[in-house]
Every structure is written in C-alpha cells, then in structure tokens.
Amino acid sequence: MLDTPFDRYDHFPADDGAVETIQRDAAKAAIPFTHAKKAAVRTARRRPLLIAAAFAAAIAGSWWFVQGGSPAPAAVPIPVVTAAAPLQKQVTEWDEFVGRFRASKSVEVRPQVSGQITAIHFKDGQFVNAGAPLFTIDSRPYRAVLAQAQAEVARSSSMLALSQANLARAQRLVAEDAVAATEIDRLRAEVRNNQAALAAARAAVNARAIDVGFTVIKAPISGRISDRRIDAGNLVSGGGGTAATLLTTINAVDPVYFEFTGSEALYLKARREGLENGSAVDIRLADEADYRWHGKLDFTDNNLDPSSGTIRARAVISNNTGLLTPGLFGRMRLATGGTRDALLVPDAAITTDQANKQVLVVGADGLVSARTVQIGPQVGGLRVIEKGLAPNDNVVIKGVQMAVPGQKVRAQAGQIVPAPSGPSAAGGDAGTAPRSASALIVN
C-alpha cells in the first residue's frame, strides 16, 4: 500500500481493545498487521453513526405519537330522556284493611228432645226459610206422655168440680146453723187445692205438647244450611247446650259482616278525624279489580288487644245476590282525610338512595339534579308525592337510568297520565305519622 494521506489511519481514534483483538486474529490467520488495523478503524467509525441513527428514530416515533399518530377518541353523546311536570289532581285518601266475611247470624241446630231421627226435610247446602222443618224425631213416646197429662187435667177438673159443689151445699146450711164454720173453711181449702192441681195438670199438658212440637226440628233463622251431620235412623240426645247432638248449622246470607283489625295508630287517626259507626266502606274480593261491594262501619270494639296492639271492627254489607260467603277474604278501604290536591309521578321515576326516595329533575340548562321526596299512597298507577317536589319541576319519567345528577341531558317533553282505575297498591311512607294506604283520583 502507498503511504498517502488517504492511506493513513493513525489520526482516527481507534478502540485499543478492538485493535488487539484484530491483531490476535490476524496473527492466527497470517494477515498483515496493516490490514487488521484498517478493519478496526472502520468498525470504530460506524458505531457512533449507528447510535445516532437509533436515537433519531426514537425521537421521530415519539413526535409522531404526540402529533396525533393514533386516532382521537369520539365525543360521548348527550343522553336523551323524557321529562314532564308532575300531574296535579285532587285525590281522596283511603286506609286499607284486610279481613274476612262472617255471617251476621249463625245457628247450630241441636235437638231439644231425645229420640230417633225418622225424617230429614232438606238438601245439603240449600237455602231455608225460618220455620221450615228440617228433621223429625219419633214423637210417639212424647204423645203418650201428653195423653197422660191430659188425663190428669180431666181428673183434676173433676175433683175441683166436686169440691166446689160440696162447698156450695155447706154454705146453704150455714144459715140454719147445720154446718160448723170449720167445715166451711176445710171445704174452701179443698177447692183451692183442686184448683191448683188442675193448673198443674194443665201446665204439664202444655209441657208435653211442647215436647211433641220439638220432635219436628225447624229452622230458627233464614239462611244457607250446611250438610246434615246425622242421617235418619240415628238416635240423638236432647237437652241444653253442647250436650245435645249437633245436627247441622245455618248461616244468614243477607246481610253479612266484614270483620277486620286495625292498628292503634289507625284507630287514633280515625277517631281524631271523626270517623264513627256509619262511615262508608268499599270492599273487593281476591279475584276482583274494583271495589264493588259497599257497606257501612257497624261496630268497633271497646278495647284494644294488648298483645297485638290492634282493635277489632266490623262493617255490614248487603248480600242480596248471596255471593258473599262467610270465610271469604277481602280488602276493605275506609275513606280518611277527605279530598285534597296532590302531585303525582310514575313509580318508575322514583329512585332509592339508601333510605331516601328521590326523583331526578332537569333544569332549564339541561343539568340533572336529585330531589329527596316523601312519597304517599299509589293511585291510578302513579305515586303521590307528599313533600320535596314543586308543581313546575321537570321530572325525568323515562330514561332514568341514563340521567346522572350533575351531568347534562337532552330532555324531550312527555306527559304523565293515570292508569285506568283498579286496585290501589299500598304505598310506603317516609315519615313517622300514619299515612293513608291508598287514594282515589277525584277529577
């Protein structure tokens, strides 16, 4: 090689370690030292350039990401909800009770004389009128006793007639001093004794006649009769009370009673509002949607049950169709509190925050805020709001799950409409004072 400036590499800094390595490799391969030194210099010159290129690539990549190398996230759309002002209506509040119907009159038919049942004059479950024959007991023993009593009446009557005749004859002889005064007194006493004996014999006849009458057992009241407990041919025991054999039962059909119990709070509320016997009540059966049965409060007990804190009360209901049967379950409502103005919102618009009830309200700027409210009874599928809401508030009625307090929404105008009349569900109450369980829209 020529010793020219282009062939000299001494002025370039070289890595001594690399040169030593190349020298060793060259010695092993019999390569001249000059060529090994040139190769070491070239390797040393390329290393800073590679490092600089890698650093420049890293800076360029970072700049690409900062300047929008990835697509920007799309903007979140504003939720759309439906909002409306609360419905303003006049409502009549009711307190609801549950109870059962009971017969206004119920009689256990038992025999008053003993004997053998010879005939049954009714069909199980039919309607019977008062005085209709139900059972016949063999009357022959009682008729025999009646005949004996009648014979005793005849004997006593004859004895009385004889004593009266003797007294009359003796009184005629008194004027002639033929009869002593003591004899007259004895004859008068004999007449009185015979009169008493005749009265006793006649009373015995009446008693025996009554026994004969008791052999035909008649319905004491009008109503629906149960099934017979004794068939013809059986012997039954008479007497009084539960010792006598139970033959059947009769329940009066019209009217019927509706018995229920109320809490101490509801009792005090009713008394303070002036509700007395004669207040109107409405009742519906388990399979009915409307309160079609109407009656009046008939009885309130004179004391509360200390074990349960409730008081027993009763209403009387007309039952001319005979549909109401003792034992039927029913729901009764009693008007309390009169008629008043109320704000109503759908139940779906009410949310729960721990123990508080809330509704979401949309402001004029579209911002959602939560209002803590006190709810009342349910009426027409809507809930009465007692406190916490103004008539001009814009309440979220649809899309409640998309409205978040403190965020904006786009509110569409809606309308609150009551559902068709039907059974009112019991409503909760956030206060301590007893509230009505249901209500009815007046207009």
Q: CATH code at 262?
A: 2.40.30.170
What is the band of 64 on the pLDDT scale with cuts at 50, 70, 90?
low
Mean pLDDT of the chain: 80
334 and 410: one domain? yes
Q: Are residues 428 and 362 in the same domain?
A: yes
Q: What is the pLDDT of residue 19?
A: 46
Q: Do residue 418 and residue 343 come from a single domain? A: yes
Query: Does the N-terminal peptide bond of residue 255 adopt cis geometry, omega within 30 degrees of 0?
Result: yes
Distance CA(135)–CA(219), nearest Å, equals: 9
273 plus 335 within the same structural domain = yes
Pinpoint the alpha helices (H) of 30-177: 33-66, 140-174
Place 382 in a pLDDT band, splitting at 50, 70 and 90.
Answer: confident
Domain containing residue 317: 87-101+254-441
Tell me which long-range contacts 116-124 makes (C-beta under 8 A, separation of at least 24): 116/233, 116/234, 116/235, 116/236, 117/230, 117/231, 117/232, 117/233, 117/234, 117/235, 117/236, 118/232, 118/233, 119/232, 120/228, 120/231, 120/232, 122/225, 122/228, 124/225, 124/226, 124/227, 124/228
Name the pLDDT band for 7 (thresholds 50, 70, 90).
very low
Residues 96 and 56 occupy one common structural domain = no
Best-predicted range by mean pLDDT (10-14, 249-253, 305-309, 399-403): 249-253
Q: Is the pTM of this model over 0.95?
A: no
pLDDT tens for each residue of 386-404 = 888 888 888 998 888 888 8
**For position 428, what pLDDT does the model report?**
41
pLDDT above 60 (res 380):
yes
Asked, for residue 161, whether it belongs to a domain, the answer is no
Q: How many domains does the chain have?
A: 2
Position 156 scores a pLDDT of 92
| 410 and 343 in a common domain | yes
The 10s digit of each residue's pLDDT in 277-298 is: 778 889 999 988 888 999 998 8
Is the Cβ–Cβ distance between 86 and 343 less than 8 Å? yes
Same domain for 91 and 20: no
Position 244 in a domain = no
Q: Band of the pLDDT at 65, cuts 50, 70, 90?
A: low
Beta bridge partners of 103: 256
Residue 185, in any domain of the structure: no
Residues 435 and 376 in one domain: yes
Q: Is residue 9 part of a domain?
A: yes
48 domain residue, yes or no: yes
In a domain, 430, yes or no: yes
Tokens 């009458």 belong to which residue?
Answer: 213
Are residues 92 and 16 part of one domain? no
pLDDT per position as a tens digit, 334-365: 876 567 788 889 988 888 887 888 989 998 88
Query: How far apart (Å, rounded) are the C-alpha atoms in residues 434 and 151?
Result: 75
Nearest of 373, 325, 282 to residue 125 by alpha carbon:
325
Quote the pLDDT of residue 8. Answer: 47
Residue 139 lies in a domain: no
Q: With respect to residue 129, please indicate whether it lies within any of the assigned structural domains.
A: no
Q: Can you name the residues that pair with 101 across neighbouring β-strands? A: 258
3-state secondary structure of 225: strand
Report residue 119's pLDDT band, with 50, 70 and 90 as the boundaries: very high
Same domain, 367 and 299: yes
